[in-house]
């Protein structure tokens, strides 16, 4: 059986609907629960893929979160060995950093439902082919990244009005999604509750009630997109 290693930074940000795709593809998953102090291996040996989930920390906060260096080392090892990588939100930022980009705070936070647009590269990519040129996704981030180093061939597959990098592809099979296709309605409700201080800091332009209303309207559609994308990613992993 193929197996992926999953890095989970906080308890509330789990696999969501990725779990369904794993079961359908009969791919096993081992977790490193970083929030429990579990150590990150330096190499990806023994695994057929790497999934890096989201979290509230910043890639540039190494002094606060010592595990960041180890996580970047692991992702670099996966890239070196052509092991498929899927980074979500913070995971996408880690992937960008491992590929040579600077990660930094954006001008404004994206929290809620926003439109992203596929680039020409995104429209023709195997993971996203057939998706609408523009579609609405769930966002919860404030950081972004700059140009990827020329030493790591990378493409931008999608962008948005506020953030030019919404999907990146590094090499042949490493993908970073700035947004969340994996979320369930229950996860979104929990995030609003557990991140109440962050929500208070952006109350001038982000309304939790509107987010929940938009969630009811959009969640089924992004699950259709998410199931397609995750299934296609796991095709890269499956042996």
Residue range 184-198, pLDDT digits in tens: 999 999 999 999 999
The DSSP output letter for 180 is B
What is the C-alpha to C-alpha distance for residues 215 and 14, in angstroms, rounded to an integer?
Answer: 18
Q: How far is CA 211 from CA 42, 205, 228, in A?
A: 38, 12, 24
Of the residues 9, 141, 180, 223, only one is catalytic, namely 180
User: Within 13 Å and on the Cβ side, how many CA atoms surround 190?
Assistant: 11
Q: Residue 153 has what pLDDT?
A: 84
pTM, entire model: 0.97
Active-site annotation holds for 186: no
Considering the candidates 89, 141, 165, 223, report the single residue annotated as catalytic. Answer: 89
Which neighbouring-strand residues pair with 212? none
Note the pLDDT of residue 131: 97
Q: Is 180 a catalytic residue?
A: yes
In the residue annotation, 156 being an active-site residue is answered as no
For residue range 13-55, list pLDDT tens digits in order. 999 999 999 999 999 999 999 999 999 999 999 999 999 999 9
Q: What structural domains does the chain harbor?
A: 3-237 (3.40.50.880)
User: Which of 9, 71, 182, 223 does the annotation list as catalytic?
Assistant: 182
């Amino acid at each position: 059986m193929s197996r992926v290693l999953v890095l989970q930074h906080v308890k509330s940000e789990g696999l969501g609907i990725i779990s369904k795709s794993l079961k359908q593809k009969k791919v096993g998953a081992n977790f490193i629960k970083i929030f429990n102090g579990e150590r990150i291996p330096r190499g990806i040996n023994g695994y057929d893929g790497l999934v890096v989930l989201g979290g509230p920390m910043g890639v540039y906060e190494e002094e606060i979160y010592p595990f960041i260096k180890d996580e970047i080392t692991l992702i670099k090892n996966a890239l070196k060995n052509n092991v498929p990588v899927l980074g979500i939100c913070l995971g996408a930022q880690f992937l960008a950093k491992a590929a040579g980009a600077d990660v930094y705070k954006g001008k404004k936070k994206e929290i809620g439902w926003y439109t992203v647009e596929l680039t020409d590269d995104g429209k023709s990519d195997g993971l996203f082919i057939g998706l609408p040129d523009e579609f609405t996704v769930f966002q919860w981030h404030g950081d972004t990244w700059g140009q990827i180093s020329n030493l790591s061939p990378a493409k931008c597959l999608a962008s948005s009005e506020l953030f030019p990098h919404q999907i990146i592809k590094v090499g042949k099979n490493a993908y970073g999604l700035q947004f969340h296709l994996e979320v369930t309605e229950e996860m979104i409700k929990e995030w609003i509750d557990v991140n109440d201080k962050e929500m208070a800091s952006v109350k001038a332009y982000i309304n939790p009630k509107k987010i929940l209303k938009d969630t009811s309207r959009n969640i089924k559609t992004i699950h259709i997109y998410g199931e397609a994308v995750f299934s296609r990613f796991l095709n890269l992993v499956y042996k």
